[in-house]
Amino acid sequence: MASGLTWVEIDLCAIAHNIDQIKNIIGPDVLLMAVVKADAYGHGIREVARCAADCGVDFLGVARIDEAIELRKAGVKEPILIFGYTLPEFYSSLIYFDLTQTVYDIKTAERLSGVAQKENKQIKVHIKVDTGMGRIGVVVCSPVSSDLKAIMKYAQSEIEKIARFPNLDLTGIYTHFATSDEVDKSYAEKQFNLFVDFIEQLNRCHIRFPLKHAANSAAIIDMDKTHLDMVRAGISVYGYFPSKNVTQKINLIPAMTFKTRIVGLKKVSAGFKVSYGHTYKTLKATILATVAAGYGDGYSRMFSSAGHMLVRGKIAPVVGRVCMDLTMLDVGNIRGVEIGDEVVIFGNQGKDQISIESLAQVRNTINYEILTGLTDRVSRVYIKKQNI
């Protein structure tokens, strides 16, 4: 049973709204994948996947097979693509749970084919192509070689070998952009052109894929020509733009609000030392409120004497070091504060707001990390605000 002291509220109507906004951009002829990896960016993979399915998404994307299996066991029936590597001992599970596996090397393809043959089944596969991201994928570019034609020819031969393995159903091919969320889209455009050229090269060799996809959230919004057969929406599903450089031409509504409660109040004098290391001393007599959230919940120590929370609709600064379970606020300028009061760590309270982007700026990070950094002991509470 959850303590009721620290929780996030997730508005499923906001997620549905965001999906609708994305659909309006891509139109009816392009399939939509909702990316629900990393526990749906901290929002809860089962509930978000069900919500996305109800909204008519065509595919779900996960990073690892355990995420995919969790969805199948929860009754989710939509096609699921696993972006990452799957260990050979789980290949039979790909068949049993009807999952699509990303492949980017011959050895993996051969092993998958062997298991599929043994069970007299097909394993669905999407080929990952590295056009310049530098993570995983069949490499079709190189910063140290000018002989692009030779590189693409070798990549073609790799995929030809993969295509010859029996019992592999090559249903898709995709790549991922490295800079689509930046002001300068030229590198992403170069990646896209390289991907399209490579697909045409494969077509000439009679290797064709029903689904071709490249666009992430930033490209969905800013690079219409990259939409191809399907797009992969991640951060935008949850109501956030990938970066401040992405055109805000759609109305995204953040789905998550992070909340906690005041569990202690004390009047203190000027010069009162707060928290571990005594890194903070009060400048004047004030009131300190202790709230039931700390780095054990995903509220980073980097917010020590640098963050803010909302109390009774007013900004309250964090004072002293953030602890594992508790954080202290100066509420001396806020009237009527009581133990048990609801506190907003990010989101709206009254007319004021603390955005995830502002927290990310303090930590010198991105909104993705703030969202996915919430720990399991933070309860997820699902609501539906019908006024969206």
Dist. CA 195–CA 173, nearest whole Å: 10
Contact call for residues 299 and 290 (beta carbons, < 8 A): no
CATH code, residues 256-354: 2.40.37.10
DSSP string, 97-115: TT-EEEE-SHHHHHHHHHH
Helices (H) then strands (E): counts for the chain? 11, 20
Q: Which of 161, 276, 281, 385 is catalytic?
A: 276
Q: Which of 244, 239, 175 is nearest to 41 (CA)?
A: 239
Q: Give the C-alpha separation, 158 to 214, whole Å.
A: 20
Task: Report the percent of the chain where pLDDT is more than 90.
Answer: 92
Q: What is the model's pLDDT at position 24? A: 97
Which amino acid appears at position 209 of this protein?
A: F
Q: Where does the chain hold its CATH 2.40.37.10 domain(s)?
A: 256-354
Fold of 11-238: TIM Barrel (3.20.20)
pTM over 0.75: yes
Q: Is the pLDDT of residue 44 over 60?
A: yes
pLDDT value of residue 142: 66
Tracing tokens 């707001």 back to the chain, one arrives at: 353
What is the mean pLDDT of the segment spanning 175-202?
96
Residue spans in the chain of domains classed CATH 3.20.20.10: 11-238
What per-residue confidence (pLDDT) applies to 386? Answer: 66
Residue 37 annotated as catalytic? yes
Does residue 340 contact residue 326 with C-beta atoms inside 8 Å? no
Show the tokens assigned to 193. Answer: 């052109």
Q: Residue ranges of the alpha helices (H) in the chain?
A: 12-26, 37-41, 45-54, 65-73, 91-96, 106-118, 148-164, 186-204, 217-222, 356-363, 367-372
User: Which residue, among 233, 223, 151, 144, has the nearest Cα to 183 in the 3D structure?
Assistant: 223
Q: Please confirm, yes or no, whether 276 is among the known catalytic residues.
A: yes
Confidence of residue 276 (pLDDT cuts 50, 70, 90): very high
Residue 117 pLDDT > 80, yes or no? yes
Q: Which residue has the tokens 């007013």?
A: 314
Q: Distance between alpha carbon 74 and the CA centroid of its chain, in Å? A: 20
Tens-digit pLDDT profile for residues 211-255? 999 999 999 999 999 999 999 999 999 999 999 999 989 999 999
Per-position b or e across 274-302, b if 16+ CB within 10 A of its CB: bbeeeebebeeebbbbbbbbbbebbbbee
What are the beta bridge partners of residue 60? 34, 80
Q: At 2, is the pLDDT very low, low, confident or very high (cuts 50, 70, 90)? A: low
DSSP 3-state of 96: helix
Predicted local confidence at residue 1, as pLDDT: 47
Residue 385 is predicted with a pLDDT of 84
pLDDT for residue 388: 57
